[in-house]
Amino acid sequence: MNSALFLEVCEDSALVLLALAVVFALARLIKGPGLADRIVALDLLTTLAISLIGVTAMRVGVSLLVDIAVALCLVGFVSTVALARFLLLRQPELPARPGRDDSTRPPVSRTVRND
C-alpha cells in the first residue's frame, strides 16, 4: 500500500467516525433533559464541525478551509459563553413563578384576587 492510498483510507475512515459522532451528539441534543445538556451537545457539535472541516481541507486540498476552522473555533467559544450567560440570566419557567400558577387555582379566583 503506498502512502497516498493510506492517507486516503485514513481520511475516509475519519469522516465515517466523525459522522457517527455527529449522529450521537444530535441524539443528545434532541434527548437532553435540560437546556444545559443541549448547550453541551451544541458545544461538542462545534468541535466536531472543526474536525470535519479539517478532514475536508485535507481531502479537497483547499488550505483556505483551515482559516474557516479557526474562525469556527472562535465563534464556538463566543456562542458557548453567550449560551452560558443566557442559562444563568433567563427568567425561571412560568409555572414556577408565584402568582402565575393557573393549574392549581381557577382563573376566576385569580382575577378576583388581583382586583
- Tell me which residue of 83, 82, 77, 27 sits closest to 50, measured CA to CA: 77
For other proteins, the closer CB: 67 or 102: 67
Taking a C-beta distance cutoff of 8 angstroms, is the pair 22, 45 a contact? yes
Taking a C-beta distance cutoff of 8 angstroms, is the pair 102, 113 a contact? no
Cell numbers 466536531 label which residue?
48
Closest distance of CB 114 from other proteins, Å: 28
Closest distance of CB 7 from other proteins, Å: 4
Please state, in angstroms and rounded to a whole number, the distance separating the CA atoms of residues 89 and 11. 42
Which parts of this chain interact with other proteins (CB under 8 A)?
A: 2-4, 6-7, 9-11, 13-15, 17-18, 20-22, 24-25, 27-28, 34, 36-37, 39-41, 43-44, 47-48, 50-51, 54-55, 57-58, 63, 66-67, 69-70, 73-74, 76-77, 80-81, 83-85, 87-88
